[in-house]
């Protein structure tokens, strides 16, 4: 099985998809390293726009990885 790269059809969930495909190939371990991601000044309006854009391909991610996608959704009680 070849891993390939990011699924360019996914927006926002492409990293989760890549992680799931890596896990199908073998073990995944945690490493002790920090990655700093500076998005500048975060504004609520911009953040909600970004999340809305990401949500557009969530159904595609769910179709590929239903168990993983279930971890991303809050359950109502």
Structural domain includes residue 26: no
Structural domain includes residue 2: no
Assess whether pLDDT exceeds 90 at residue 44. yes
Please count the structural domains in the chain. Answer: 1
Rg from Cα positions in the chain? 15
pLDDT bin (cut points 50, 70, 90) of residue 39 is: confident
In the numeric block, which tokens belong to residue 24? 């199908």
Structural domain includes residue 15: yes
Structural domain includes residue 59: yes
Matching residue, tokens 């926002």: 12
Which domain, by its residues, includes 63? Answer: 9-20+32-77
Q: CB neighbours of 75 closer than 8 A, spacing ≥ 6?
A: none
Span 49-77, pLDDT tens digits: 988 998 888 999 999 999 988 888 777 66
């Amino acid at each position: 099985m070849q891993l390939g790269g990011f699924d360019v059809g996914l927006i926002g969930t492409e990293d989760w998809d890549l992680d799931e495909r890596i896990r199908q190939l073998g073990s995944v371990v945690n490493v002790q390293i920090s990655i700093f991601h500076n998005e500048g000044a975060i504004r609520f309006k911009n953040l909600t726009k970004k999340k809305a854009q990401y949500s557009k391909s969530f159904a595609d991610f769910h179709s590929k990885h239903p168990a993983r996608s279930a971890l991303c959704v809050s359950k109502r009680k």
